[in-house]
Each structure stands twice: as structure tokens, then as C-alpha cells.
Structure 1
Amino acid sequence: MKLMVVDTTLGLCTAGVFEVDGAGVRQLGLRSEPMVKGHSERIAGFARDAAAEAGVAFTDLDRIGVTVGPGSFTGLRVGLAFAQGLAAALDRPVVGVSALDALAASAAETRTVAALIDARRGQVYARFWRGGEADAAAEALTLDAAATRIATMGTNAVLVGSGAALFADIAAGRTILPLDGPAPEALARLAATADPASAPARPLYLRAPDATPPTRLPGQARGPARTP
């Protein structure tokens, strides 16, 4: 299977072409750079260049994989819009992959993992794995709640993601991998095995967006003032 992966959810802008089969995951072409803003201007060019490096046409792709969050509200929607548009143009399936799952998969063969994304405002987005199985669904936790969960993990655990460094003082010998985003190879592996029916390319939000819709339309009169 040849597939393209797209990731604009966190601190990277990534587009890569991979071949996944019984022999494993093979990178054919990749463009990935640290990026906080500007994903919308760069992702199409990254995808074009990755395909050119791979020596494949977009029509050679079998599916598209894209990170769906949690992460930057604007960033994840950029990646989703691009992946969905490309998949629609090619008539190919598109699958969504959790950024937390992909971060955990980036920790190689480690089977005890805390995937942690810095969500600001004293929170992290988190998911925990033991024995290769997730403890529960992804969730938004306070730093204190996440620290309590980490304390129950063995000393062979790996903390991975942009939120991992927040717990350096309690890591107690545990490995810290402060990745800006998931490894493209891990994302490709998950995208190749995902079922399009159960892994839709829809945003995964664990917290309401900071922006709120206006309470009135432009030009609309304000309502009467409330009396005490």
C-alpha cells in the first residue's frame, strides 16, 4: 500500500509518502519542518515535493492519512481540509489518526507510554498505555491529575510529546521524548492499518475552542440593558 500522511496538528508541518506492506514501513518521500504558524501556506507544497521525491503521482496513492487532534484548533483543520480535498479529488479513502496515538507509536517498542500534549492553561491532553493497551480514551487533564497518573507508571515508562517536559521534575528516571509531533513513520503505520469506517477524518477536540461565536450579527442592535 502506498499512502500519504499529513500532519499539521502540533508543532510540525509534515507530508510524507510511504509504502507499507508485510516487510514494514518504507519512506519514499518526506517533507517535515517545525512550524507553529503558516501550515496552510506550506502543506500543499510539502505534499507535492514529497510525492516528487517518492517518484509517484498522486493517483498512485491508495489512501490518505491525517492527524485529527487533539492539538491546535486552526492547525488540525488545515490538515483535515487538505487531506479531505486531496482524497475527494483522487477518489481515495482518508483515515483519521489521533495525534496522541501517533505520539505513543513514535516511542518505538516501548509498551508503557504516556502521550502528553501541552494544552496550556495548566492542562495536558493525555493518553496512557500499559502492556501495549490504552488505559482509557484520550482526555484533558490538569497537570496535578496527570502527575498522579504518571506516578503510578513503572520506571521503564516513556513520556512522549510536547507535554512530556512539564513532568521532568517527577520523571524519576523515566525516559522523556519531548517531540514536536508524531514520527511520520509511526503515523504511516497507524494510517495503513486503520479502518476508514471506524477512523473518520473528523476533528478530535478534548476542550472547547478559545474563540466563541459573536452574540449578535454585524449591524444588529444591542439588546436592552439589563437592570440590576
Structure 2
Amino acid sequence: MRVLIVDTALGACTAGVVEDGRVIGLRSELMTKGHQERLAGMARDAVADAGGGFDALERIGVTVGPGSFTGLRVGMAFAQGLGAALDRPVVGVSTLDALAASIEPAGLVAAVIDARRGQVYARLFRDGVALGEAEALSLETATDRILAAAAGAVPSLVGSGALLLSETFPDQFSDVVLKTLPAPTPEALARLTAAADPATALPRPLYLRAPDATPPSRLPGQPRPPLAS
């Protein structure tokens, strides 16, 4: 299966064409903003490198989070628009699942993303199988969950939260395997894209907590409410 993968969830902007596990066209740049201006051109160039044009694509996969609010919206809007134009299925891929799939799946793997405000987004896997749902956890709770699941074995931590946890709790994580990937690998994204069921893996944003921004309490030009007497 030839798939186009789109990832704008974390610290990179990636568009790649992967066919039967082999990357045949790829554009990827580290960036935290500016995805909207770069993504379409990167996808065009990746498809050109792969040959066959956009019509040769069979499926599109896009990361749906957790991750940057703006980045997720850019990636999903692009993927869904392209899928509609090509009449190709678009599937959503969890960022945490893709991070875990980016490393050797043996043993306990904790995919953790720095969520700021003393939290990480986390999901645990054993031998490639998820042990629960993705959650937003405090650093303390995430540490307790990982160590309890490891049961004395050496866990692997992958993602931006890996270094954060190891530096915050150096004694507890002195023997872990750290993989501080800035984003999932194209190969992992493609595997999950090809394996997904388009009927259930919908390209909808995965938010694990409320956004930091809040809507205004009044519209522009609207008078302030009177102070309570």
C-alpha cells in the first residue's frame, strides 16, 4: 500500500510517501510554527520524489494528537482537503501510538510528551500492545504508573517527556532507555496508517485536556456587565 503521511503535531513538519514499509519520498523539517506555510509544498515535493503523482496514493494518514493545537489543525485540514480532492480515505493516527511504534516494541514502552504545566501526555505499551488509554498526567503520577508497570524491569521512554521525567526524577529513572524523538518516524506513521480501519480511525483531534486559551467573556464592542452592588 502506498500512503502519504502528514505529521504536524509536535516539533516537526513532515510529509512522506511510504510504500510497503519503504520511504520513497520525504520532506521533514524541525519547526514549532509555520506549518501552514510549508506543509503543502513539502507534500508536493515528497510525492514528486516518489513518482506516480498524487493519483498513486491509496491512503492518507495524519497525526491527530495529542500535540500542538495549531499544528494539529493545520495537518488535519490539509489531509482532509487532499483526501476529499483525491477521493482517498484519511485516517487519524495517535501521536503517542506513533512514538511508541517508532522504537523497538519489546518490553515496557512509555510514550510521553511534555504537556507543560507540570504534566505529560502519556500512554504505556507492553510488547507493542497498549496497556490503557492516553492520559494527561502529573509528572509524579506518570512516574508512579511507569515504574509500577515496569515491575523492576528496565522501561523505555520515548518522546519529549522522556528527558523531562528523567531529569525531574533522576533516581527513579537512572536505568531507563531514553529515546527523545522530536516526532514519530515516517515508517511508524505509515505502518499505523496502513493498519487502521478508516471507518473507526477518524481524523479528529485528540485533546487530553482543555486548551490553555479561553473564549472572551464578551464580544468586541459589547459593553461590560455592571458590577455587582
Query: What is the TM-score of this pair, normalised by structure 2?
Result: 0.94
**Structure 2 residues without counterparts, runs of 5 or longer:** none
Which residue of 77, 85, 89 corresponds with 2:73? 77
For structure 1, list consecutive stretches of 5 or more residues without a partner in the other structure: none
Aligned to 2:213: 211
In 2, the alpha carbon distance for the partners of 1:150 and 1:111 equals 12
**Matching of residue 202 in structure 1 with residue 204 in structure 2:** yes
Q: Report what 2:37 is aligned to.
A: 41
SS of residue paired to 1:66? strand
Decide which of 62, 69, 83 is 1:87's aligned counterpart: 83
Q: Percent of aligned positions with the same letter in both sequences?
A: 65
Letter in 1 for 2:208: L
d(CA) in 1 for partners of 2:108, 2:89: 32
Equivalent residues of 1:115, 1:160 under 8 A apart: yes
After TM superposition, list the pairs within 5 Å mapping 1:125-204 onto structure 2: 125-152=121-148, 153=150, 154-168=152-166, 169=170, 170-204=172-206
The alpha carbon displacement at 1:172 in A equals 2.7
Report the count of equivalent residues: 223
Note the alpha carbon deviations across 1:165-218, whole angstroms, 9 max, x for none.
012213231100011110110000000010011100000000111111111111
| Distance in structure 2 (CA, Å) of the matches to 1:84 and 1:210 | 26
How far apart, CA to CA, are the structure 2 residues paired with 1:45 and 1:146?
38
Q: Give the aligned residue type for 2:13.
A: C
SS at match of 1:68: strand
Runs (4 or more) in structure 1 with deviation over 6 Å come to none
Contact persistence 1:110–1:157 (CA under 8 A) = no
Give the aligned partner of residue 103 of structure 2: 107
Q: Distance in 1 between matches of 2:49 and 2:228?
A: 63
TM-score by length of 1: 0.95
Q: Tell me, what secondary structure is at the counterpart of 2:160?
A: coil
CA-atom RMSD in angstroms: 1.1
